[in-house]
């Protein structure tokens, strides 16, 4: 059994240390009659050990000390308990005076298990990642002690809310965005003080795009999205350039130009340039290391509907086809084996032009299905459903990409009455733990709504802190974003305040654990009529609050289905500490993301998507649904059937499959999760290899694919997933 020290280091559980601590507190009692007997101390130690084993995960030292206090008081030794608590408090004061040192030292030595597993796409052994984590620990310390109200900090620590990305809060940084790549490529930009003019070829445009992506990723802490359509005009730029070159070559060689031959040669050379350009984006994104020690969290949007004319639509189709072909092939790992990369994430729009077998671009949809079956991407947006849900003040529906993995902007029309999405961003996220409200209410619905209102006030104030932190930010902190076109073209020294109001940017109220919340309150599941009705009522109430705040402050608050990654474990541990183990609610080491059906619930793919579509519609700030599927590479028609269902029923969804590789024995299948001494580990089923450095494991955990492994809570959730198809 393992225990997590305050520094984050994970070590072997040692019951003798508990016995010694109790013995010291016991000897500090003057009256021998009030002391514990040696037998009582041993009983207390054994009881604590049993409680820790029942938790089913590595316990934190603070949890162990809480259990010790409880067991001492349980036998009536109140004076001993008092002295134990007093000693514990004094030690806490000493630690608080220098709170970050041990955490930083432990992560440098790669001993901090909590930080190591915080982000499944960061390698904690790399210097740049450690540097980012060190800065993050300092930022969190400053934030907790100086920048946030104490009640918000305490609520975050207790898992009542989650104040996202506290490790970046000390800086004036925002969350995620839609990069206005079109403006930057067409009108030029500046990167690191260097003027970049409009590219004169497709390959140059791809190179510039990757540099923009890297700069944007280093200037914010969330995901970003770019559109393939913004690169498409440069396909024709290259076409015309190649055409002129070939004409000269043919005239020089033959004395005349055969149009048929000219066309064939031009398109062949153009296809090669497209192949190289797409490969540039894929390989550079994967190999780039931004200032926060990871590849950019980037999404590419594949949408025929963004074409401005028929020729551009055909060129977008060429780019989509090449992007899908290269992703299907994969990226070579260190052993030279093609594996599934985490980035860029791909989103493919299902539309009338590609969804039916007689649609002109159905071949792209078939290719997308093959790619999903092997590499888990692309994910899918239904143009039809999105235009029903994303309607602007003019009554027009729109289809556009999310910012990164799932955060969606709300419809916006500029002063000229034109819809605008690229160049906009999200200010930040605060998530409410709905399960904590439900358990605090003790099945009393009146009490639930009362506590709900109190927690909304707490979340509102926390979100205001995020907004106020950005207020007054000058454009000089991130010129690529605010001065040179990624998000705006403001002047040097100007503040970004004009972009924080009026709907240009959003700010997100997240929520987690709707499944457990409903079950805790009425003993029903979201898949049952009564449970579904209550779940919808809760989301409607959350939307009422965001609309109220927006009307009062002219800030675009929006409800967001939170993609808990490491926080799923944190919330679960906090619930167990506050309320104990409650079957169906807090008996797992993870909580359910947003509105999702619980990962253990037997339900077919189509029923799941149909049900979740109703909850997704009530999460305008972003959400994504998924279905868990087996290896589908030999059943592409089934993948296509799910895609057609997505088109007709839900705005945004994905298929989760497995894509793993063992370096030791070359096993190409599903790496499995096993339990070893109370800890979950990854194991190759073929050779039993457990060395994570000698395997590639790709799983989707929060919209993005993760590839650097996860904490114990998320690993347990992955292990528990049932198939929906």
Task: Based on the residue annotation, tell me whether 120 is a catalytic residue of this protein.
Answer: no
| DSSP structure string for 32-66 | GGGSPPHHHHHHHHHHHHHHHHHHTSPEEHHHHHH
The residue annotated as part of the active site, out of 166, 206, 371, 405, is: 405
* H helix or E strand, kind and range, residue 346: strand 345-350
Choose one of 69, 97, 125: the last residue of a domain: 97
One domain, residues 202 and 86: no
One domain, residues 196 and 318: yes
In a domain, 213, yes or no: yes
313-317, 566-570, 577-581: which has the highest mean pLDDT? 313-317
**pLDDT range class, residue 622, cuts 50, 70, 90:** very high
In a domain, 717, yes or no: no
In a domain, 355, yes or no: yes
In a domain, 295, yes or no: yes
One domain, residues 343 and 207: yes
How confident is the model at residue 101, as a pLDDT?
A: 58
Residue with more model confidence, 349 or 659: 349
The residue annotated as part of the active site, out of 176, 402, 574, 651, is: 176
Distance CA 422, CA 505 (A): 11
In a domain, 403, yes or no: no
* Residue 347 and residue 402 in contact, taking contact as beta carbons nearer than 8 Å: yes
φ/ψ of residue 125, rounded to 5: -85, -15
How confident is the model at residue 295, as a pLDDT?
A: 72
User: Over 60: is that where the pLDDT of 565 sits?
Assistant: yes
How confident is the model at residue 342, as a pLDDT?
A: 83
Task: Based on the residue annotation, tell me whether 560 is a catalytic residue of this protein.
Answer: yes
**pLDDT range class, residue 286, cuts 50, 70, 90:** confident
One domain, residues 195 and 78: no
How confident is the model at residue 248, as a pLDDT?
A: 93
How confident is the model at residue 285, as a pLDDT?
A: 83
Query: What residues contact 18, with CB distance under 8 A and at least 6 apart?
Result: 44, 45, 48, 49, 64, 68
User: Over 90: is that where the pLDDT of 714 sits?
Assistant: no
User: Over 90: is that where the pLDDT of 115 sits?
Assistant: no
In a domain, 130, yes or no: no
One domain, residues 74 and 208: no
Q: Across the chain, what does the average pLDDT equal? A: 90
User: Over 80: is that where the pLDDT of 130 sits?
Assistant: no
In a domain, 551, yes or no: no
Q: For a pLDDT cut of 70, what percent of the chain falls above it?
A: 92
One domain, residues 194 and 307: yes
**pLDDT range class, residue 373, cuts 50, 70, 90:** very high
Choose one of 47, 80, 97: the last residue of a domain: 97
Choose one of 366, 384, 402: the last residue of a domain: 384
Long-range contacts of 97-106 (CB under 8 A, 24+ apart): 99/141, 100/137, 100/138, 100/140, 100/141, 102/6, 102/7, 103/6, 103/7, 103/8, 103/137, 104/134, 104/137, 104/138, 105/7, 106/5, 106/7, 106/8, 106/9
- pLDDT tens, residue by residue, 509-553: 999 999 999 999 999 999 999 999 999 999 999 999 999 999 999
Task: Based on the residue annotation, tell me whether 168 is a catalytic residue of this protein.
Answer: no
The residue annotated as part of the active site, out of 175, 649, 689, 696, is: 175
Q: Which of 118-122, 209-213, 500-504 has the lowest mean pLDDT?
A: 118-122
Domain assignment of residue 40, given as a range: 2-97
The residue annotated as part of the active site, out of 403, 465, 574, 684, is: 403
26-35, 94-103, 262-271, 329-338: which has the highest mean pLDDT? 262-271
**Residue reference for tokens 């001492």:** 72
Query: Cα–Cα–Cα angle for 227, 606, 328, nearest 5°?
Result: 40
How confident is the model at residue 33, as a pLDDT?
A: 74
* Residue 506 and residue 547 in contact, taking contact as beta carbons nearer than 8 Å: no
One domain, residues 57 and 184: no
The residue annotated as part of the active site, out of 560, 590, 626, 704, is: 560
724's tokens: 């929906």
One domain, residues 58 and 183: no
One domain, residues 191 and 327: yes
One domain, residues 206 and 311: yes
How confident is the model at residue 34, as a pLDDT?
A: 83
Query: Cα–Cα–Cα angle for 529, 533, 537, nearest 5°?
Result: 170
The domain total for the chain is 2
The residue annotated as part of the active site, out of 180, 407, 586, 619, is: 407
How confident is the model at residue 354, as a pLDDT?
A: 98
φ/ψ of residue 4, rounded to 5: -100, 120
Task: Based on the residue annotation, tell me whether 83 is a catalytic residue of this protein.
Answer: no
In a domain, 62, yes or no: yes
Task: Based on the residue annotation, tell me whether 426 is a catalytic residue of this protein.
Answer: yes
Query: What residues contact 577, with CB distance under 8 A and at least 6 apart?
Result: 63, 66
- pLDDT tens, residue by residue, 670-711: 899 998 877 889 999 999 999 988 988 888 876 678 776 777
One domain, residues 201 and 293: yes
User: Over 60: is that where the pLDDT of 358 sits?
Assistant: yes
One domain, residues 205 and 58: no
Distance CA 261, CA 458 (A): 70
The residue annotated as part of the active site, out of 83, 112, 354, 426, is: 426
Task: Based on the residue annotation, tell me whether 134 is a catalytic residue of this protein.
Answer: no
- pTM here is 0.86
Task: Based on the residue annotation, tell me whether 502 is a catalytic residue of this protein.
Answer: no
């Amino acid at each position: 059994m393992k225990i997590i020290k305050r520094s984050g280091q994970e070590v072997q559980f040692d019951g003798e240390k508990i016995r010694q601590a109790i013995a010291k507190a016991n000897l500090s009692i003057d009256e021998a009659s009030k002391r514990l007997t040696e037998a009582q101390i041993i009983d207390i130690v054994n009881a604590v050990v049993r409680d820790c084993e029942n938790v089913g995960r590595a316990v934190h030292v603070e949890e162990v000390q809480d259990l010790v206090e409880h067991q001492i008081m349980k036998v009536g030794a109140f004076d001993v308990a008092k002295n134990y608590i007093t000693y514990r408090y004094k030690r806490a004061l000493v630690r608080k005076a220098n709170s970050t040192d041990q955490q930083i030292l432990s992560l440098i030595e790669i001993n901090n298990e909590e930080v190591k597993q915080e982000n499944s796409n960061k390698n904690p052994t790399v210097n740049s990642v450690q540097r980012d984590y060190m800065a993050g620990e300092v930022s969190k310390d400053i934030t907790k002690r100086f920048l946030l109200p104490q009640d918000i900090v305490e609520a975050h620590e207790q898992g009542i809310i989650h104040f996202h990305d506290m490790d970046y809060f000390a800086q004036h940084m925002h969350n995620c965005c839609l990069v206005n790549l079109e403006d930057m490529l067409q009108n030029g930009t500046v990167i690191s003080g260097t003027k970049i003019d409009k590219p004169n070829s497709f390959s140059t445009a791809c190179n510039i795009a990757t540099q923009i992506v890297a700069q944007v990723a280093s200037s914010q802490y969330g995901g970003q999205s770019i559109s393939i359509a913004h690169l498409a005009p440069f396909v024709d730029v290259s076409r015309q350039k190649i055409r002129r070159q070939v004409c000269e070559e043919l005239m020089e060689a033959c004395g005349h130009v055969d149009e048929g031959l000219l066309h064939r040669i031009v398109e062949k050379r153009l296809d090669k340039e497209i192949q190289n350009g797409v490969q540039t984006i894929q390989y550079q994104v994967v190999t780039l290391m931004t200032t926060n020690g990871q590849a950019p969290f980037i999404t590419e949007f594949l949408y025929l509907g963004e074409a401005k004319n028929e020729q551009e639509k055909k060129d977008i189709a060429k780019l989509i086809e090449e992007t899908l072909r290269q992703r299907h092939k994969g990226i070579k790992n260190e052993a030279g084996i093609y594996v599934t990369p985490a980035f860029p994430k791909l989103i493919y729009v299902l539309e009338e032009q590609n969804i039916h077998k007689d649609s002109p671009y159905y071949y792209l949809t078939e290719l997308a299905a093959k790619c999903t079956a092997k590499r888990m991407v692309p994910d899918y947006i239904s143009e039809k459903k999105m235009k029903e849900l994303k309607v602007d003040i003019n009554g027009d529906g729109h289809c556009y990409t999310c910012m990164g993995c799932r955060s969606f902007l709300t419809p916006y029309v500029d002063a000229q009455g034109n819809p605008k999405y690229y160049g906009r961003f999200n200010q930040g996220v605060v998530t409410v733990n709905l399960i904590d409200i439900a358990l605090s209410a003790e099945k009393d619905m009146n009490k639930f709504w009362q506590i709900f209102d109190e927690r909304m006030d707490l979340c509102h104030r926390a979100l205001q802190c995020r907004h106020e932190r950005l207020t007054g930010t000058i454009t000089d902190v991130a010129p690529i974003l605010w001065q040179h076109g990624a998000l705006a073209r403001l002047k040097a020294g100007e503040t970004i305040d004009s972009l924080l109001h009026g709907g240009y940017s959003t700010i997100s109220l997240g929520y987690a654990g709707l499944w457990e919340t409903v079950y805790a309150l009425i003993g029903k599941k979201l898949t049952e009529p009564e449970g579904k009705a209550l779940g919808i009522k809760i989301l409607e109430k959350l939307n009422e609050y965001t609309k109220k705040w927006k009307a009062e402050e002219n800030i675009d608050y929006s409800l967001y289905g939170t993609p808990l990654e490491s926080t799923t474990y944190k919330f679960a541990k906090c619930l167990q500490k506050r309320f104990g183990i409650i079957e169906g609610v807090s008996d797992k080491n993870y909580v359910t993301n947003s509105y999702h059906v619980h990962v253990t619930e037997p339900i077919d793919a189509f029923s799941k998507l149909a049900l979740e579509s109703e909850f997704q519609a009530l999460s305008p700030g972003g959400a994504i649904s998924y279905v868990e599927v087996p290896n589908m590479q030999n059943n592409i028609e089934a993948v296509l059937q799910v895609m057609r269902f997505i088109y007709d029923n839900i705005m945004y969804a994905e298929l989760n499959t497995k894509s793993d590789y063992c370096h030791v024995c070359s096993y190409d299948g599903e790496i499995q999760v096993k339990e070893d001494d109370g800890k979950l580990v990854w194991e190759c089923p073929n050779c039993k290899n457990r060395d994570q450095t000698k395997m590639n494991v790709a799983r989707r955990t929060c919209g993005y694919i993760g590839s650097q492994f996860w904490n114990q809570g998320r690993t347990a959730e992955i292990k528990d997933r049932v198939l929906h198809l």
